Amino acid sequence: MMINVPHILTKSSPKHADDGYFLSLLHRLGGVAMLISPLLLLVGESIRIQARRLVPDGPSTGFDYPGQLAAYQNHPALMTASYVIFALGWFALWPAFLSLAALIGRTRPWWGLLGGASAFTGLIALAFYEGINHLAFQLVDQQGLTTATAFVDDAYASPNLAYALTAAYNLGWIVLAIGAYLSRTLGPWQSLCLAPMALHATGVLKAGEPHGIAFILALVIAFIPLGLSQVRGATPALHVTPHRPGIDATT
């Protein structure tokens, strides 16, 4: 089957501009992102934990940046794979955030707007951190482990706007979780499973941790069912709490 790319790029909706065609495309893209991003994060975190086990007696028992730089020196392919896959998982979140914010905004527009904007803005900080991570590994290759560790040690605590953006990112997960519940976009448990990602370590050369796996598995529970429904083109129904006949459930 041939895909007519020029036709797709020039195609316009025959109906009025508000017929929802664009939103349907956004939600399909967001659904794909909801399926892909948690799996990429899970694989990246698992590889990093494996790299941590390969250097149990490294310069840092907590496997923070000195330990990870040492791990890169000894296992560059493994550490590179971990960081590349994990970064792809982070960056794949942006369509998921936009789609989820739009779904929440159907009934709770401010929760959708603030949650989506906070989480999406925080991705800028993550891109900044990934750039530093790449530079640190290149320093190991070019200047050696001692020089790279000293450079990161001197620069690690220097103030930067990215730290404030990281706070916005963490807050975004919480706002989206509350908004998903209040708007009934997700059920109570699925909404709750969004919140733990606010506790996932973000920053320069962060280690893989078993609890990080647990946070990502919670994201899988929240995202996968919603993502599947959106990829299939179904508009997620609002999750209405069942009530007994004769009892007014109006809120």
| pLDDT 10s digits, 62-75 | 557 888 888 898 88
Evaluate whether 76 touches 38 at the Cβ level (below 8 Å).
no
Residue whose C-alpha is closest to residue 97's, from 85, 82, 80, 112? 112
Total Cβ atoms within 10 A of residue 250: 5
What is residue 250's predicted lDDT score, i.e. its pLDDT?
A: 39
Query: Could you say which residues of the chain have pLDDT below 50?
Result: 58-61, 243-251
What is residue 55's predicted lDDT score, i.e. its pLDDT?
A: 67
d(C-alpha 112, C-alpha 81), whole Å: 34
d(C-alpha 6, C-alpha 8), whole Å: 5
Q: What is the DSSP letter of 237?
A: P
∠ Cα 220 221 224 (to 5°): 65
What is residue 58's predicted lDDT score, i.e. its pLDDT?
A: 47
What is residue 243's predicted lDDT score, i.e. its pLDDT?
A: 46
Evaluate whether 225 touches 34 at the Cβ level (below 8 Å).
no
Amino acid in the structure at residue 130: E
pTM above 0.85, yes or no: no
